[in-house]
Structure 1
Amino acid sequence: MKIVVCAFSVYPDYPSSEGIVNRNWIEILKKENVELNILSLKQTEIINETGASSITSNTFSNYLYKILKSSKNSISHLCYRVANKTLIKFLSPNSTLTIFQYIWVSQQTSRIEKFAGKGPDFVFWSRILPIESLIPFFKAYKKVKFPLIVNINDPIFLQDNKKVYQMEEGFLKRTAKVAQCWTFPSSKLADYAADKYGLDRKRCFVIPHATKTQSKLYSFHSEKNRKLNFLYTGTFYKSAFTDEFKVALKRFSKLEISKNVEFTFILSQFDQSSIDWLKEAIPHVKIFTKLTSEKVLEITSHMDCVFVVDASSHSMLLKGKLIEAISFGIPVFAITYKQSIMDKVVQEYGGVSGYQDVENDISTKLLLVCENLNDENWVTNFCKKRERVMFQISEGVIFEKTRMVSEFALKRFLWENNKENIKPTYLENCNWP
């Protein structure tokens, strides 16, 4: 199998939840017998079937990206802004791209054209967002056709820059004519995107977020009078950390049982008001910020329960942090809404959901979780129930679904271009969760 991946965001070069999800998926492919070509923010990595790797740096675009991320008051950043306003009008007058984006996209377009020109046995994956991971394929497709798979991890929401939003939506609608299929981390997101962008739902497949197989799994702790450790990691979403959630935590903090519970929050994106919110809700909360992904996983492995928190707008999303917790087999307490994807997965996994829109439900369920974690029978039953969901997110299943989707895309492309007589059948077992 020969695969070309264009993923702008890959951890650690791009330290984000999107970058971590992409890195985990790529690492799974590297373990298999795959000729893998990765086009990311800072480099091109080519791995042949023997596992030998060669890396080429995107030198000039890396330099521009470094300037872009430097202080806005620096001379280099000022020069960049001036160049961006003048040169982009000359290079691409109707585009919303910046100079950095334009150059990066041009580099990847050239590379995609070269791979596509080698023959019809390469399958191309675009992993978005951001939209930079998709644009090069449209430019290359004008010169040479190839089987394209578009992976969409998150929906595009209306943003301050309406022109950029419209551009991004426009590209997704255009994939209906050039992509062989699409992948999503949840069936609800697949339903939403198919309806919104006019995609063929039968060619919208679900591959859960990838994560590493963990050697150490959660099991019952028999020590008496020990403290329970709860963990939250990731972005402090102000839309998700609601007043209802805060009231429940404050109420819990006044109870005697709270003396035997420790709350740890590891935040990647936050502001001072986020810190204030947590300290008001949980007086003795432990807060860490901007730890590496490796350190977060190390801390996670020692926890008794992981918080995952939904906003009302997150109902169709499968969060990477939930999958990380499941990979360790750790009990999950979801702060969510009924029938959300998170609610369905957590219930199937054996965890507990506290509903944001049900009065007193979060505080009641938090007490229940504490009781469960101290009950050996509950933990034993949980460890049996969790196995099915853990299997669904295992490295082997993620790779097998990736292989099946890749083969479908290649066969359909060949059939569409009259190089195969038989139209491939749709995949029946790629719609979980």
Structure 2
Amino acid sequence: MHLVRVELYCILCVFASVCLSQDYATEQETCDTEHESVVSRQFALSLYKTASKLMAQTRNLLLSPLAVGMLLSMVSHGTSPGTPRNEILQVLKQGDRQDIQEFDRCTLSAYHADRFNTPFVIRDKPRRNTARLRTATRLFGDRNLTFDADFVTKTGIYGTEMTVLPIRVNPRLAERQINRWVSRQTDGIVNQIMKRNSLQSNAKIAATCSIFFTGTWSSPFLNASRGVFYRLGKRKRSTDFITSQSPVQHLSSKKLQADLVKIPYDVPDGSNIDPCLILIMPHKGTPIRRVETGLDDGVLQTLLYGNESNHVRIRIPKFQLAGSQKLKFFLKRMGIRQIFIEWRSSLRNSLKVGTKYDGKISVASTVNKIRFEVDEYGTQGFVYHKASDAVRANDFPDYEILTYDRPFIFILYDMFTNTVVYVGRLSDPTGRL
């Protein structure tokens, strides 16, 4: 079996706390799950388009709209009524301002951790060689502050526990304790999500969000062979390519002027996720910027559920993306500004009434560390092989082989919840973020 493992580690350093106020099970009784899915996909594509415009086309890009949405939904409950809260809801909902208050609860419920955290177990043991998606979130608050009791209780409903640390008295110790927790949650893969001096003495809380996805292809790929990847500006890069042995679903979109393929993962019946990797490559002569601008949910749904597709074999580059990105610039460009203004107490509703604190309460910074790797063997030691999965290349001799040898968009999509988990752009298979 061929493994793909991706990890995202986000940290939100804030000068405030966040407050959650709705029970997930209760919300599911009154909220339309299809509405939640549409909302989350619209936000995902909007976030990607904003980031892609702000970054050079020659740079790789990788985001997790799911993680960003989770953080924003938590922060929104701690914001003061009016503009700060409305800005977050408007960006998450991507809809008309007139109906924000009416549908805010259902909009935020799209990012409940419980939608993604049900473990799949066979004979009381997890299937380690199949697709798994888990989220791990935690709030670290300053121990000298009094947090609202309802806030502490309701964060548990979202799968987000509160841990108190000496953030203001000893921020260096707090940083080490946060890093230690993240290291345990990621099996030692990430040991330093917070660099030294990330927490300042006026910080009140830090929120972390980790997303883990591990998956094996439902059908194996051939071993790597060398090939040429054509970067922008007529630059070339020699790199390893892998070829699918079985055909995958393919759509040639005239609207986008791009080729889209869907690569499924191995998922047993009864699993809580149904992931696939979507690759979108512009037709020859079509700028990737044009494809990014025209990308919408309708095209994705046509590939996933329409009847206009055919099947091809594909040849794609092996790649690994790792690094960190600051999200504040992207979010401000999308319209979320008030929570970042230092002189405003835009998150004052998060602390218990009467709590004394120094200064204003606002978001200090948003940083994410992320890793995404695709190859034919696996990553981080998670390698599994099944003799029964052997397929000869000549079993499918009549299928066209489509080579992804120029910049393309990739999307990790969960068909069970109809959610975009990751979205990115590969401009250089040997480069970093």
Q: Which has the higher helix share?
A: 1
Same fold (TM over 0.5): no
Q: When you count strand as a share of all residues, which structure comes out higher?
A: 2
- State the TM bucket, normalised to the shorter chain: under 0.3
Q: Normalization by structure 2: what TM-score?
A: 0.25
> TM-score scaled by structure 1?
0.25
